[in-house]
């Protein structure tokens, strides 16, 4: 079912960033509604529809955790951020895509992998990631980009 | 190493952080988005890396809480869709082009999202269409979704909704210009075997022989929701009616409509 195909990654990615189930559903609802409202303005030239929807989902999730109200909860979360490798491994249901993404993540250097998972699943900015990993800003920008390029080639994204 | 303006180079390596939504703040986002408009190579790279983000999202897929779809549907019913932001020429081209466009550029994702027409995502995501198992059903679903997509993208699209006398609600998304509509229901009681819900378009002069036209049978519901059903042949002044009929449907309604929606 299409709903599952998109609703599951939409909810999953929001849940990963936001953590709290009730807040995650709220954000997911906002996303579904935004997709519904602006479907006629979707521009296929800008990339695939799944990418469009999931970009909205990730950005809304980020907005939520970066808002001032969430600041306190976040401080708390830093301590319990699991190993990036577990982030992916802990996922609820094994699937081909998950295995593939995991395999490709496994092919990165540790810093590349950590910076990507902290930024994407953790919702941290590259500056925060640099601070968390204790590397320079210039290094983190490069690690993230190089890591994603390797991921892209590994996944076979055109 | 590329010999470019060092400032540009510095911006360029932000494609990764941009694709992960990890830029610092709105002003940096804006600065980078401006840069992308000037630098075609950077924009292409950013698009490719953004698809890696999509892969990361798929890898995090998780079952949404029960009822999320129903709540989303309720919200959608109360929310007007934005009209397309396109020129007439572009719109015309797009409406034809969208359903044919591949959903995703990355081959690894294509197998994942099989049943789609690009703009049907509104219906697909919010209503959950495309419950099909066989190849034939898949193809039927695809062309139905293309038709549904066209209705949703129509400039004059409206949503009407009303309760039925058996409980539950009927929602119709209507384009008078296309003379087409998409019908969906929630919470209608399950019928005993041998009975079906039949849709009717009912003209303003019910006495006329052609006034009541069958618009087809409602598909069976999944967890209380029917998949959006596409119907055409709408005439100005029509109402949408639903009756309970014997399996296979009737030529004319044999029972009192459980709902009559002015559309």
The distance of A106 to chain B (nearest Cα, Å) reads 13
3-state SS of chain A?
Answer: CHHHHHHHHHHHHHHHHHCCHHHHHHHHHHHHHHHHHHHHHCCHHHCCHHHHHHHHHHHHHHHHHHCHHHHHHHHHHHHHCCCHHHHHHCCCCCCHHHHHHHHHHHCCCHHHHHHHHHHHCCCCCHHHHHHHHCCCHHHHHHHHHHHHHHHHHHHCCC
Q: Please, are residues B256 and B235 in contact by the beta-carbon 8 Å criterion?
A: no
CA distance between the termini of chain A: 26
Closest by Cα among B208, B248, B47, B68 to A48: B47
Question: Residue A106: its pLDDT value, please?
Answer: 94
Check B53 against A41: CB less than 8 A apart. no
Mean pLDDT of chain B: 73
Q: How many CB contacts within 8 angstroms connect chain A with chain B?
A: 282
- By Cβ distance, the residue of B48, B72, B129 closest to A33 is B72
Does B89 or B127 have the greater pLDDT score? B127
Lowest mean pLDDT of A101-115, B149-163, B181-195, name the range.
Answer: B149-163
Distance from CA of A2 to the nearest CA of B (A): 6
pLDDT tens readout for residues A13-64: 999 999 999 999 999 988 887 877 776 565 544 456 778 889 999 999 999 9
Chain B closest CA to A72's CA: distance in Å? Answer: 19
B57–A48 C-beta distance less than 8 A: no
pTM over 0.90: no
Record: contact A59-B15, CB cut-off 8 A: no
* CB-CB under 8 Å, B69 with A49: no
pLDDT surpassing 90 at residue A72: no
Instruction: Supply A93's token pair.
Output: 């249901």
The whole-number average pLDDT for the span B4-10 is: 59
Q: Please report the residues numbered 136 through 155 in chain A whose beta carbons come closer than 8 angstroms to any beta carbon of chain B.
A: 141-142, 144-149, 151-152, 155
pLDDT tens profile B184-232:
777 788 898 899 999 999 988 766 666 889 999 988 776 666 777 888 8
pLDDT for position A124: 93
SS (H, E, C) B165-214: CCCCEEEEEEECCCCEEEEEEECCCCCCCCEEEEEEEECCCCCCCCCEEE
Residue A62 to residue A48: CA distance in whole angstroms: 21
- For chain A, the average pLDDT equals 79
Q: What is the pLDDT of residue A14?
A: 96
Residues of A in contact with B126 (CB under 8 A): 32, 35-36
Query: Which carries the bigger pLDDT value, residue B23 or residue B170?
Result: B23
Q: Which residues of A touch B47 (CB under 8 A)?
A: 46-47
Q: Is the pLDDT of residue B78 over 70?
A: no
CA distances from B165 to B80, B90, B194 (A): 26, 43, 20
pLDDT of the residue at B160: 80
Instruction: Give the pLDDT score at A77.
Output: 53
| Band (A70; pLDDT cuts 50, 70, 90) | low
To the nearest whole Å, the CA of B79 is away from the closest chain A CA by: 7
The b/e string for B170-195 (b: 16+ C-beta within 10 A; e otherwise) is bbbbbbbebebbbbbbbebeebeeee
Query: Of B77, B55, B227, nearest to A3 (Cα)?
Result: B227
Contact of B133 with chain A, judged by CB distance below 8 Å, is answered with: no
Q: Give A105 or A85, the one with higher predicted confidence.
A: A105
Chain B residues 39-98 within an 8 A CB cutoff of chain A: 47-65, 68-69, 71-72, 75-76, 79-86, 94, 97-98
Nearest CA in chain A to B25: A125
Per-residue pLDDT band for B153 (boundaries 50, 70, 90) equals: low
C-beta atoms of A39 and B112 within 8 A: no
Q: With a cut of 60, say whether residue B94 has pLDDT above it.
A: no
Q: How far does CA B244 lie from the centroid of its chain?
A: 27
- Contact call for residues A124 and A96 (beta carbons, < 8 A): no
Chain A, residues 119-138, CB within 8 A of chain B, namely 119-121, 123-127, 129
A98 to B59: CB separation less than 8 angstroms, yes or no: yes
A123 has pLDDT over 80: yes
CB of A13 within 8 Å of a chain B CB? The answer is yes
Which pLDDT value is given to residue A135? 94
Determine what percent of chain B is predicted with pLDDT higher than 90: 25
Nearest beta carbon to residue B152 from set A15, A39, A62: A39
Which strands form B239-246's sheet, in the order they lie side by side?
B212-217, B195-202, B239-246, B259-262
Hunting for tokens 């990507």 — which residue is that?
A: A116
pLDDT band of B111, cuts 50, 70, 90: very low
Span B32-64, pLDDT tens digits:
999 999 999 999 999 899 989 999 998 998 888
Contact assessment for residue A52 and residue B120, using Cβ atoms and an 8 Å cutoff: no
> Residues, chain B, total?
263
**Does the beta carbon of A25 lie under 8 angstroms from any beta carbon of chain B?**
yes
Q: Provide, as residue numbers in chain B, all residues whose Cβ is less than 8 Å from the Cβ of A93.
A: 61-63
Scanning every residue of chain A, which has its alpha carbon at the shortest distance from the alpha carbon of B90?
A: A43
Dist. CA B4–CA B149, nearest whole Å: 44
CA–CA min distance B213, chain A (Å): 30
The predicted model gives B241-246 an average pLDDT of 94
Whole-Å CA distances, A32 to A6, A37, A53, B125, B221:
10, 9, 8, 7, 21
């Amino acid at each position: 079912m299409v709903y599952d195909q998109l609703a599951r990654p939409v909810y999953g990615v929001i849940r990963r960033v936001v953590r709290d189930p009730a807040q995650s559903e709220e954000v997911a609802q906002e996303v579904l509604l935004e997709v519904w409202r602006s479907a006629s303005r979707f521009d296929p030239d800008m990339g695939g529809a799944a990418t469009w929807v999931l970009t909205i989902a990730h950005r809304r999730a980020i907005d939520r955790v970066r808002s001032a109200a969430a600041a306190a909860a976040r401080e708390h979360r830093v301590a319990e951020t699991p190993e990036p490798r577990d982030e992916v491994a802990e996922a609820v249901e094994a699937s081909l895509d998950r295995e593939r993404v995991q395999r490709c993540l496994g092919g990165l250097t540790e810093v590349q992998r950590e910076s990507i998972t902290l930024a994407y699943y953790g919702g941290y900015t590259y500056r925060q990631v640099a601070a968390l990993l204790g590397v320079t800003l210039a290094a983190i920008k490069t690690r993230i980009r190089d890591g994603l390029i390797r991921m892209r080639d590994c996944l076979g994204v055109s | 190493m590329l010999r470019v303006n060092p400032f540009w180079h510095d911006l360029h390596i932000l494609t990764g952080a941009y694709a992960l939504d990890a830029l610092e703040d709105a002003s940096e986002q804006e600065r980078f988005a401006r840069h992308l408009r000037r630098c075609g190579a950077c924009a292409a790279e950013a698009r490719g890396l953004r698809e890696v983000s999509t892969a990361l999202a798929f890898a995090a897929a998780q079952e949404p809480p029960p009822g999320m779809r129903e709540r989303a549907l309720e919200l959608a019913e109360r929310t007007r869709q934005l009209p397309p932001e396109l020129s007439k020429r572009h719109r015309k081209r797009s409406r034809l082009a969208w359903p044919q466009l591949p959903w995703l550029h990355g081959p690894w994702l294509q197998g994942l999202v099989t049943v789609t027409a690009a703009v049907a995502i509104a219906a697909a995501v919010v209503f959950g269409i495309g419950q099909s198992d066989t190849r034939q059903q898949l193809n039927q679903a695809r062309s139905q979704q293309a038709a549904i997509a066209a209705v949703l993208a129509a400039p004059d699209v409206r949503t009407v909704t009303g309760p039925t006398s058996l409980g539950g609600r009927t929602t119709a998304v209507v384009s008078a210009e296309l003379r087409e509509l998409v019908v969906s229901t929630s919470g209608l009681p399950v019928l005993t075997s041998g009975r079906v819900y039949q849709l009717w378009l009912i003209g303003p002069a019910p006495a006329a022989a052609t006034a009541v036209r069958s618009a087809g049978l409602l598909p069976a519901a999944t967890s209380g929701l029917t998949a959006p059903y596409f119907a055409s042949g709408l005439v100005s002044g029509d109402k949408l009616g639903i009756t309970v009929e014997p399996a296979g449907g009737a030529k004319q309604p044999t029972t009192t409509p459980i709902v009559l929606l002015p559309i």
